[in-house]
Amino acid sequence: MTTMLGITLAGRDVLLVGGGAVTARRLRRLLDDGAVPRIVAPELAPATRELVDEHRIVWHARRFHRADLAGAWLVHTATGDPRTDLQVAALCERRQLLCVNASDGSHGSARLTAQTRSGDVVVGVVSDAGVDPRRSMRLRDAIGTALAAGSLPLRRRRADAMGRVDLVGGGPGPVDLMTVRARRLLAEADVVVADRLGPAEALLPELDPEVLVIDVGKRPGHHPVPQEAINALLVEHALAGRRVVRLKGGDPFVFGRGGEEVTACIAAGVPVEVVPAPSSAIAVPQAAGIPVTHRKVASGMHLVNGQAELAPATLAALADPSITTVVLMGVAALPRIVAAALAHGVAPERPVAIVESGLTPQQRTTRTTVGEAVADARAVGVRNPAVIVVGDVAQAGFLLPQPLLAGESTP
């Protein structure tokens, strides 16, 4: 019967007998765990020697002596000679030292697990009877995949003395475009402060029923929870020892007021990190077959908040044929943007694409021009959420000259 123990080797002496490839693999793991390894072996394999030189590991270039066991917390023997490894294991048994016998795991008093990690959770897989490392590794990989997907119960049941806040970018919408770290942090969260856009609708039902979900989503002309109140919520729950995820659409630092939330957390002494995500400014045009930059066509991109007044730099970008201008939150402001562009001398025939509900089954792209954009958008009933692209890359058939992309409309 094998008993599972979580043992830390950080700062502790570990003796490795043998210097071959097996030792090199185990040595990397021990170094990652913070152990202080030393090696006894007449020779070293190239991979082992590289680690010894890089990390200045103590190496005794000779055969094993009994006295080498002194001071060790754990012994790992992998000489390539089963008889020698068995002798080392027997000596460790008599001295009540845990020993991993790599040549025959069933004759050692300890086994290294096939290990996977998710944040501060470490899961190890070991066989109870017999040694079957390939099976253990396949099971470990399956568990690792489930951890990465956030489908296992990672949430803590004991509150921390100090909580934390993670600003998590949900990306443009589909759950499978979120990062592994984002999914893990959601699975660990005690509180989720969620926006309207992004993957919240699909993800929130998967959370632990005890997780507090606070909807702070903004809609055009309707901001039920002011930004100052959102900042206060994040700080309040973190100071109460809770893990808080601020789930935002797109990337937290692209028109998401993430900088203000980070500032509020830092001012309150709350640990805070930001998890990036694909911004809809790039991902949504991409879904419609529009590259925001393209060699010899568009050498740069200018990103605009459609709700703000147009700056001189934005007007210059709209008129520059080498720049793609991407407007977020700009449907209501489209008449104002077009009027300012035309007054600034932007050519009426400059291509425009309006991509609605990007990366969803309702995605639709309207191809038009600066001069016709307002009338065409009104004709097809363009609605938020939408991304507006101005530039040569937005013209119909730029990448696909024959059939229109699925979901395109012709006013």
Confidence at residue 123, expressed as pLDDT on a 0 to 100 scale: 78
Query: Other CB atoms closer than 10 Å to residue 151's CB: what's the count?
Result: 12
Q: Which of 195, 248, 251, 376 is catalytic?
A: 195
Is the domain covering 13-112 a CATH 3.40.50.720 domain? yes
pLDDT tens digits, residue range 349-358? 999 999 999 9
pLDDT at residue 403 is higher than 50: no
Query: Domain 281-409 belongs to what architecture?
Result: 2-Layer Sandwich (3.30)
Query: 404 vs 42, 230, 268, 290, 354, CA distance in Å?
Result: 69, 43, 52, 12, 14
pLDDT at residue 261 is higher than 90: yes
Supply the mean pLDDT for the chain: 87
Helix (H, G, I), strand (E, B) or coil at 194: strand
Task: Please state the φ and ψ torsions of residue 35, each to the nearest 5 degrees.
Answer: -70, 165
Confidence at residue 233, expressed as pLDDT on a 0 to 100 scale: 96
pLDDT at residue 87 is higher than 50: yes
Confidence at residue 244, expressed as pLDDT on a 0 to 100 scale: 96
- More confident site: 116 or 46: 46
248 is catalytic: no
Task: Please state the φ and ψ torsions of residue 93, each to the nearest 5 degrees.
Answer: -60, -45
pLDDT tens digits, residue range 103-125? 865 667 787 777 777 777 777 77
For the record, the structure tokens of 291 come out as 């590259």
Question: d(Cα 309, Cα 349) in Å, to the nearest integer?
Answer: 23
pLDDT at residue 402 is higher than 60: no
pLDDT at residue 72 is higher than 60: yes
Angle of the 312-319 helix axis to the 334-343 helix axis, nearest 10: 70
Helix (H, G, I), strand (E, B) or coil at 240: coil
pLDDT at residue 238 is higher than 90: yes
User: What do you get for the CA distance between the two ends of the chain, in Å?
Assistant: 73
Confidence at residue 410, expressed as pLDDT on a 0 to 100 scale: 59
Decide if 229 contacts 152 (C-beta within 8 A).
no
pLDDT tens digits, residue range 329-377? 999 999 999 999 999 999 999 999 999 999 988 999 999 999 999 999 9
Bridge partners for 369 per DSSP: 351
Confidence at residue 321, expressed as pLDDT on a 0 to 100 scale: 93
pLDDT mean over 317-335: 95
How many helices and strands (H and E) does the chain possess? 12, 18
Element (H, E) at 291: none
Domain spans in the chain, listed from the N-terminal domain onward: 13-112, 164-275, 281-409
- More confident site: 226 or 105: 226
Query: 4 vs 105, 140, 255, CA distance in Å?
Result: 15, 15, 48
Q: Which residue carries 């592994």 as its tokens?
A: 180
Would residue 71 be called left, alpha or beta, if left means φ above 0 and alpha means ψ between -120 and 50 degrees? left
pLDDT tens digits, residue range 141-166? 787 777 777 777 777 766 666 799 99
Q: Give the residue among 339, 316, 317, 313 at the shortest CA–CA distance from 326.
A: 317
Confidence at residue 366, expressed as pLDDT on a 0 to 100 scale: 95
In DSSP notation, 28-93 reads HHHHHTT-EEEEE-SS--HHHHHHHHHHT-EEE-S---GGGGTT-SEEEE--S-HHHHHHHHHHHH
**CA-only gyration radius of the chain, Å:** 29
For the record, the structure tokens of 33 come out as 């765990």
C-alpha neighbours within 13 Å on the C-beta side of residue 359: 24
Question: d(Cα 77, Cα 82) in Å, to the nearest integer?
Answer: 10
- Of the chain, the percentage scoring pLDDT greater than 70 comes to 89
Is the domain covering 164-275 a CATH 3.30.2010.30 domain? no
Predicted structure pTM score: 0.69
Q: Which of 13, 218, 320, 392 is catalytic?
A: 218
Confidence at residue 130, expressed as pLDDT on a 0 to 100 scale: 60
pLDDT tens digits, residue range 13-43? 999 999 999 999 889 989 988 999 999 999 9
296 is catalytic: no
